[in-house]
């Protein structure tokens, strides 16, 4: 009997050691992955724009938003994300990173609870007390989401079982869909994670979606308010929106969900909710009833820009604040050279000026800085004026012109050639 106990003890010790060894490797993968939540807890990178939502928040298409604004983005959205989990993640982000300039939130994530997703986030509990407490407070492992109804059977210890089970076994802690995403994005950015299909013709003719019920949970709106208030306390400008649906589907849930949700959120937060639910009318821009595809999401970012959602940012469309250090260096070379022109310079009376940008998103009242013009009264042989290589100046200005053209500006290089 004693021999059997020794073998059992040795097996358990080996299993425990193996679990810890493999768990160490899994933690390393989690910490170094490019998956969004790994970057939240382990990266020092900061973002200027923070996007938040459920799977519909993935329609905040980061590559296009960054192209339009010249700003760095971070998207904390995830499939089925409920507002209480989003609040936890946003607060953790704001505590660990420099506050973004703006946070844009799709408020339709107030349509569900999702205890399963919370449990899947167990692998990040070693780095977040908020997340640990949120999981421990869970009382069930089911999803309460439309069109499902509330489930009466709950387990007040469900969340604790998940949390402490993860403490006992590192393998158990990483046994989730979230860790699969961690693996997939180990060496691959996830800023291009979006539906890339077109809704089928059969789906557009199907009337089944007319009976699809979406409901608002006031408790989730309360979590949304707390998230918004916390972001504001950090100096973040917050914008609330409703992202695009398949237009016909949006109309079927307008009276039962969208209108009440918009009104309730506005009343609770004291903020305006911008409704873009039917902003995409072309079928080829829709992936399914609730999501735009890549083409639609790209246009949606332009719609947000045109409607002022990005207005507080210094964007490529409205200025040159995002021009690189190299551009500024070129500008300084040209400016210094022009300042030192002599009266004998072949183009001392010529000027370099900027015309209003032709980009439709550019404000007519905003222009770029004009380089200093040469002083016509400088004596030809003034000892304080350095000789200038006119050819070098000409090349520098033409480089600036080409770069400004990339940003949509029209630069007139009078007298310098085209």
289 has pLDDT over 80: yes
Residues 281 and 180 in one domain: yes
Residues 224 and 341 in one domain: no
Token pair of 392 as six digits: 């070098």
Dist CA 20 CA 34 (whole Å) = 23
pLDDT tens by residue, 19-75:
889 999 999 999 999 999 999 999 999 999 999 999 999 999 999 999 999 999 999
pLDDT at residue 287, rounded to an integer: 94
State the residue range of the domain holding 185: 9-306
> Whole-prediction pTM value?
0.72
Q: Are 393 and 412 in contact (CB under 8 A)?
A: no
Total number of domains in the chain: 2
CATH number of domain containing 35 = 3.40.50.1110
Tell me which residue has tokens 């890339």.
196
Residues 136 and 283 in one domain: yes
pLDDT tens by residue, 150-179:
444 567 778 888 999 999 999 999 999 999
Fill in the DSSP letter of residue 158: H
Residues 138 and 13 in one domain: yes
Q: For the beta carbon of residue 178, count every other beta carbon within 10 angstroms.
A: 20
The SS3 call for residue 143 is strand
Residues 191 and 43 in one domain: yes
Domain closes at, from 306, 341, 370: 306
Which is more confident, 184 or 12? Answer: 184
pLDDT tens by residue, 232-258:
999 999 999 999 999 999 999 999 999
Residues 354 and 231 in one domain: no
Domain closes at, from 271, 306, 341: 306
Residues 85 and 205 in one domain: yes
Residues 139 and 256 in one domain: yes
User: How do 102-106 and 73-75 pair as beta strands?
Assistant: unpaired
Q: What integer is the mean pLDDT of 173-202?
A: 91
Looking at the domain assignment, is residue 313 inside a domain? no
276 has pLDDT over 70: yes
């Amino acid at each position: 009997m004693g021999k059997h106990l020794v073998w059992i003890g040795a097996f358990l010790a080996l299993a425990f050691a193996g679990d810890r060894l493999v768990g160490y490797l899994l933690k390393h993968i989690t910490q170094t992955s490019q998956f969004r939540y790994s970057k939240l807890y382990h990266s020092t990178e900061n973002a200027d724009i923070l996007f938040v939502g459920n799977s519909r928040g993935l329609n905040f298409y980061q590559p296009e938003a960054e192209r339009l604004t010249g700003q760095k983005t971070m998207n904390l959205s995830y499939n089925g994300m409920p507002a209480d989990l989003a609040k936890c993640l946003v607060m953790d982000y704001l505590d660990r990173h420099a506050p973004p300039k703006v946070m844009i939130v799709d408020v339709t994530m107030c349509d569900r609870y999702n205890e399963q997703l919370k449990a899947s986030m167990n692998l990040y509990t070693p780095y977040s007390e908020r997340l640990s407490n949120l999981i421990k407070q869970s009382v069930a492992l089911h999803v309460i989401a439309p069109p499902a109804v509330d489930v009466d059977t709950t387990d007040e210890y469900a969340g604790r079982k998940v949390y402490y089970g993860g403490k006992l076994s590192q393998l158990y802690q990483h046994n989730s869909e979230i860790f699969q995403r961690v693996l997939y994005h180990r060496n691959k950015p996830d800023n291009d994670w979006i539906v890339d299909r077109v809704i089928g013709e059969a789906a557009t003719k199907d009337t089944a979606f007319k009976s699809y019920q979406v409901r608002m949970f006031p408790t989730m709106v309360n979590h949304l308010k707390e998230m918004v208030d916390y972001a504001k306390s950090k100096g973040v400008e917050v914008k609330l929106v409703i992202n695009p649906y398949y237009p016909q589907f949006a109309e079927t849930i307008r009276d039962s969900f969208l209108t009440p949700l918009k009104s309730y959120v506005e009343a609770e937060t004291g903020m305006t909710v911008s409704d873009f639910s039917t902003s995409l009318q072309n079928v080829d821009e829709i992936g399914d009833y609730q999501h735009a595809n890549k083409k639609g999401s790209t246009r949606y970012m332009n719609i947000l820009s045109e409607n002022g959602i990005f207005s507080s940012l210094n964007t490529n469309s409205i200025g040159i604040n995002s021009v690189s250090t190299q551009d500024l260096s070129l500008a300084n070379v040209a400016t210094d050279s022009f300042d030192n022109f002599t009266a004998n310079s072949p183009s001392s009376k010529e000027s370099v000026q900027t015309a209003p940008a032709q980009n439709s998103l550019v404000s007519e009242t905003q222009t770029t800085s004009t380089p200093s013009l040469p002083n016509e009264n400088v004596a030809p042989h003034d000892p304080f004026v350095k000789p200038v290589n006119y050819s070098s100046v000409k090349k520098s200005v033409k480089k600036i012109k080409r770069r400004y053209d990339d940003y949509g500006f029209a630069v007139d290089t009078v007298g310098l050639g085209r």
